[in-house]
Chains A and B, each alone.
Chain A
Amino acid sequence: MYRYDEFDREFVLARVAQFSDQVRRRLAGDLTEEQFKPLRLMNGLYLQLHAYMLRVAVPYGTMNAVQMRKLAHIARKYDRGYGHFTTRQNIQFNWPRLDETPEILSELAEVEMHAIQTSGNCIRNVTADHFAGAAADEIADPRVYAEILRQWSSLHPEFSFLPRKFKIAITGAPHDRAAVQVHDIGLQLARNENGETGFIVYVGGGLGRTPMVGRKVRDFLPEADLLAYTEAILRVYNLYGRRDNKYKARIKILVHETGLEELKADIEREFEAIRGGILTLPKDEVDRIEAYFAAPAFKVPGDERLFDAAIETMPGFADFARQNLNAHRQPGYTSLTISLKPIGGAPGDASAEQMEVVADLAEKYGHNEIRVSHEQNLVLPHVLKSDVPAVYQVLKEHGLAEANAGLVTDIIACPGMDYCALATARSIPVAQRISERFGTPERQKEIGDLKIKISGCINACGHHHVGHIGILGVEKKGKEFYQITLGGSADEKSSIGEIVGRGFSYEEVVDAVETVVDTYLNIRNGEEEDFLQAYRRVGEAPFKEALYGTQ
């Protein structure tokens, strides 16, 4: 993984000093809250319902055991003993004090971590496939380019006061696990007919109040042009993106209002002016960064009879092995998902103790690598299959062995009204109740792959638009109401879910979800047809009828 050199170290320390001075001037009254706000947001510090919230960057979701232990330490010392992993592969602490944040940032800097650009109207943490460098279907490692973009975008002098936040995601495999089509810029690694590396480029995807799937602006952008082309997109957006209404300020609205062809022409014109210049990626530099992400020294495959025997004898292991392992490109290896979705728990939360357990496992069995997935789980990307039973045993002892990756209880949910100042409804308790309703292994297995995503307001941080079943909490006459959308998806065939009908009360919503699920079970063409496939085949009619009766 990427290691700081002396310049990265100096950069992060200088940033801590800069932010400490900004906090000091805020407390001294030299900065108004209005003037301080974008500065603290650019360093991941929000003012929430009950307290400040600090969002720490986990670049493209990759970290090591030492870093994870530091997060555990921060959870214990400055928070209430836990942290919350987010849909952008970062971690949030919900209870830090403003005057302690410089100290937290200094502690993070000790382990090459920071909170730079995890919030604010700037280029945010670049996200990537959580199985990067491990997945069997990968063309190239997306983290190499995510790191190059991270460096280029850090404290960018031109793009730190954009109309609105700007999110970039990269996938290295044809099967998109990074939801690139619902990002401001989505990059999909590809090879052209000459075998050269480049990117399919999407612009203008996003969720929020006006969900849109990104539009393709390049079938193949050569690797060398990555930064110049990205700078061209950002310049056009910075100059012409709307600033009169924050809900219309994302680049998706600019794409929509300007028209794709005209905007593409604007981008290409800006690109032509700078292409071949200082931002051209030299192959040497790509190679230099790539070396940081070289595969670990894989071991010879262990005795897989251990694995096979555990399937037969270890309670729960067969379910875990079926659901939480992903095919690895190295023989004898697998990528292992550690679910942060225990039945009835708050999605994405981990205690300090659990973080330390994961750190220990990564060191002992996982070549010291940990990933955060955008589905709010953790991943050990490189584990010998023969070690999986031992890992499972430890996970089980610490409430981390839920065998539900990709299943109905692997729910994405925003913090909702329990924490967030913007939310208009609760999301975590809805997720917990759904999780309890479907929680038995038999029921989950019967239902199969199904993504439920819950947002507590129309800003859609819980990505409900791209849930196979999406749930949006709104407030109506002082009561919470939950709108259900069906058929959303955030993979290589992205789609925005459709609202199925009038909303349900807090009490009714779990029954409504169960009605939808039961309807699917009745109409599917066998177990092979998952929820999304079935929905795409039959449309909303049977679900509507089951929910609302014939009208």
Chain B
Amino acid sequence: MSDTIYRNGIFSANEWIILDDEADLPGDGKAMVSLDRFLELGGTAPEGLELGVVIRAGDKAERLVDHLAAVPVIAVDFPKFSDGRGYSSARLLREKFGYRGELRAIGDVLIDQIPFMIRCGIDSFEITHAPTRRALEEDRLNEVPIYLQPVGREGEVPLGTRPWARRRVA
């Protein structure tokens, strides 16, 4: 866990905690729970507590579909930077199910994967890897800024007359 979160180009305080399934729910604050626990709670939290969800690699994101309007934050876990399931989960949540809240990458989040995550709809990052943190602070995304395939992300515009090439504008 990191006490800061990278979002909208800056690091700011991480207001969310991630609860183990065994831990009691706190009376107030902001807590993320596992998908199973979230669904057991029926998506509702005690008065004063805000609930978020952690989608682990292997979880089926579509199980959340009835609750998406009410969830302020979903964390997609990358247990290992080389485990790419989170990219599909993120695109499904954003593009197929229309999730509009914060979509956060947690786990083994490294600078070379962040541009891909952004394109899949992830908009905040928990960073524990020091060189990655340094690169973000210095605004070194090291991205190929031309995209040869469209995804559903807003803020990308077609390039010239090519139907699938894109460039980021936002």
Q: Do A and B come from one complex?
A: yes
**A interface residues (Cβ-Cβ under 8 A, vs B):** 5-7, 10-11, 14-15, 18, 21-22, 25, 30-31, 35, 38-39, 121, 151-162, 227, 235, 238-239, 243, 273-274, 278-279, 282, 285
Question: 6 more A-B contacts (CB under 8 A) besides A30-B131, A162-B84?
Answer: A11-B144, A14-B145, A152-B164, A157-B87, A161-B84, A273-B96
| B80 to A: closest C-beta gap in Å | 9
**B interface residues (Cβ-Cβ under 8 A, vs A):** 57, 81-85, 87-89, 91-92, 96, 110, 112-113, 115-117, 119-120, 131, 142-152, 159-160, 162-165
Interface of B is mostly: loop
With both beta carbons as reference points, the residue of chain B lying nearest to A273 in the complex is identified as B96
Check B85 against A239 for contact (C-beta < 8 Å): yes
A-B contact pairs, 5 of them (CB 8 A): A35-B112, A155-B116, A161-B84, A243-B83, A278-B150
CB within 8 Å for A161 and B149 given contacts A151-B164, A152-B164: no
A154 to B91, CA, bound (A): 18
Which residues of the other chain, A, contact B116 by a CB distance below 8 angstroms?
Answer: 155, 157-158, 160
CB within 8 Å for A22 and B112 given contacts A157-B119, A235-B88: yes
Check B165 against A157 for contact (C-beta < 8 Å): no
Check B142 against A21 for contact (C-beta < 8 Å): yes
Checking A15, A158, A160, A162 against B151 with a beta-carbon cut-off of 8 angstroms, the contacting residue is A158
Check B146 against A11 for contact (C-beta < 8 Å): yes
CB within 8 Å for A35 and B87 given contacts A18-B142, A158-B151, A273-B96: no
CB within 8 Å for A31 and B131 given contacts A38-B82, A158-B91: yes
A25 to B151, CA, bound (A): 29
A285 to B149, CA, bound (A): 14
A279 to B87, CA, bound (A): 18
Checking B84, B96, B152 against A238 with a beta-carbon cut-off of 8 angstroms, the contacting residue is B84
Which residues of the other chain, B, contact A6 by a CB distance below 8 angstroms?
Answer: 160
Number of A-B pairs, beta carbon distance below 8 Å? 102
With both beta carbons as reference points, the residue of chain B lying nearest to A156 in the complex is identified as B149
| B146 to A: closest C-beta gap in Å | 4
A547 to B142, CA, bound (A): 59
Which residues of the other chain, B, contact A15 by a CB distance below 8 angstroms?
Answer: 144
Check A157 against B115 for contact (C-beta < 8 Å): yes
A30 to B146, CA, bound (A): 25
Check B84 against A282 for contact (C-beta < 8 Å): no
Which residues of the other chain, A, contact B162 by a CB distance below 8 angstroms?
Answer: 5, 7, 285
A30 to B110, CA, bound (A): 11
| A25 to B: closest C-beta gap in Å | 7
Checking A39, A158, A243 against B88 with a beta-carbon cut-off of 8 angstroms, the contacting residue is A158
Check B148 against A155 for contact (C-beta < 8 Å): yes
Check A158 against B87 for contact (C-beta < 8 Å): yes
| A309 to B: closest C-beta gap in Å | 51
Which residues of the other chain, B, contact A14 by a CB distance below 8 angstroms?
Answer: 143-146
Check A158 against B142 for contact (C-beta < 8 Å): no
| A428 to B: closest C-beta gap in Å | 32
A153 to B150, CA, bound (A): 11
A285 to B160, CA, bound (A): 13
With both beta carbons as reference points, the residue of chain B lying nearest to A28 in the complex is identified as B131
A273 to B61, CA, bound (A): 15
Check B160 against A7 for contact (C-beta < 8 Å): yes
A152 to B150, CA, bound (A): 8
A27 to B146, CA, bound (A): 27
Checking A10, A153, A238 against B149 with a beta-carbon cut-off of 8 angstroms, the contacting residue is A153
A32 to B81, CA, bound (A): 13
A157 to B162, CA, bound (A): 19
With both beta carbons as reference points, the residue of chain B lying nearest to A278 in the complex is identified as B150
Check A154 against B84 for contact (C-beta < 8 Å): no
Check B146 against A10 for contact (C-beta < 8 Å): yes
Which residues of the other chain, A, contact B117 by a CB distance below 8 angstroms?
Answer: 157
Check B165 against A7 for contact (C-beta < 8 Å): yes
Which residues of the other chain, B, contact A160 by a CB distance below 8 angstroms?
Answer: 84, 87, 116
| B74 to A: closest C-beta gap in Å | 16
Which residues of the other chain, A, contact B148 by a CB distance below 8 angstroms?
Answer: 11, 151-152, 154-155
